[in-house]
Structures are given as C-alpha cells and as structure tokens.
Amino acid sequence: MPSRVALVTGGASGIGRAVAAKLAKEGHRVAVADMDAEGGREAADEIGGAFLKVDLSNRDECRGLVGRAAAELGPVEILINNAGFQRVASIENFEEKWWDGMMAVMLTAPFLLTKHAWPSMKARGWGRVVNIASIHAQVASPHKVGYITAKHGLVGLTRTAALEGGEHGITVNAICPAYVRTPLVEGQIAEQAKVHGITQDEVVEKVMLAPAAVKRLIEPDEVAGLVAYLCSDSAGAVTGASWAIDLGWTAR
C-alpha cells in the first residue's frame, strides 16, 4: 500500500497515540492533533510525524486543521476522528456548558474535519475516515447523557458519509470499543475504587465490565490494529459499519 497522509485527532495519548504509531509503522505520514502540546509533540517526534496544536471546540480551528496538516505533510487522505472527553452527571445535574463542549468536540468537529478533508479525497478517488465512537454509541448507561448522545450522533454521521463517499472511493467507518486502558479510564478506575471501597481489579470486573463476557480492559493497540485495517486497501469494500470491540458486551 502506498504511503498516505493521515490526520489523527486526540493523538497525544491513549487510543489516538496508539493509532498514530500504528499508522506510521504502516508507512503513512502522520499529523498528530491535540490540545496537549507536550504530549502531542512527544507522540509526533516518536513516529517522525508532525504535531498540530488545536482546540477542536473552536469551529475556525477545525476548519483550518485540515489545511495545516496538508501544508505540513500533503493533502489528508486518512482522517481519524478520535478526540473526546467525558462528563459524568445525571440529566438533572448536567450543565449546559458541558453539553455544548461535548457536542463541539465529539460531533461537530468530526463533521467539519470530514467536510474539509472530503474534496482532496474525492479528487484522488481514495479516502478513509474512521470515527472512534464507543460501545456507548450502541447502548446507553445512566449519567452519561452528553457522551452517549454525541457518540450515537457520530454513528449517524458515519453512515451518511459512507453513502455519499462510496462512489468516490471514500470509506467511512466507526469503531465502538468498551473500556480501553487509557489515562482517562485508569483515573476513573482509581476514583471508583475509593468510592466503593473495593480494589481496582474489582472495579474493572464488577462495575465497569459487569455486562461484558471478557473481564479485562482493551489495550489501545487492539483498537489501533482495527483502524489500520480499515485504512488499508484490503478494506475497500467495508464502509458504513460500526465495529464493536466490546469484550462481548452487546452479545446479550
């Protein structure tokens, strides 16, 4: 497969960092986009890529990011919409400013980046968009209204873009993992252990992964492996799909 230009949002840590490293290992030129300048530069330096500092809650910065990546490495042919965050609260206690921020970063930003990467993909007759959704794009849990709403919307964006991109050689897919071993999740585990007075292993098995068949966290590299496949020529017939990496969560 020829070397392509890939843009990975939220690439400073966790899933995004693993994806950036995997795509670079596959021979692609990778732009790492993140608010975290220190972590982002470190991630980019490790793979010989470019770092682009960006605030994805800002529409103007979203519009400019694709052009900045193109100026550094060339027109974007692979787009990985990975950046996100969580706010845990009931609907009653969920603040409106949190809603606006979550929709901006996890739904509006993927739409804008896809929109602005689309013309160069279409002109080349080849493109790959992979949206990192969540198991919570397929099922719901209480106290995560903003996160779950955004992730469900991301699957809708995935399906619509797939239908529009097919005739132009552009595929669009979503990946829906359960809990992945990231700094964010590890912090949640430690907090839950204190709240419930149990060990961190018990939090993973009995609280976080109670619906799952496999009682362990997913490793970022496992998600990155699926991303790499979906970005390959071998996955040219795969589009509009929501790929569950959920430890058997939705098998019930």
- The catalytic residue positions are 147
The one-letter code for the residue type at 99 is W
Residue 180 near residue 15, CB atoms below 8 Å: yes
Residue 178 near residue 246, CB atoms below 8 Å: yes
List all residues 6 or more positions away from 13 whose beta carbon is below 8 Å from its beta carbon: 34, 36, 39, 43, 182, 183
DSSP string, 72-140: HHSS--EEEE-------B-TTT--HHHHHHHHIIIIIHHHHHHHHHHHHHHHHT-EEEEEE--GGGTS-
CA distance 12 to 35: 8
The tokens describing 131, both together, are 């949206």
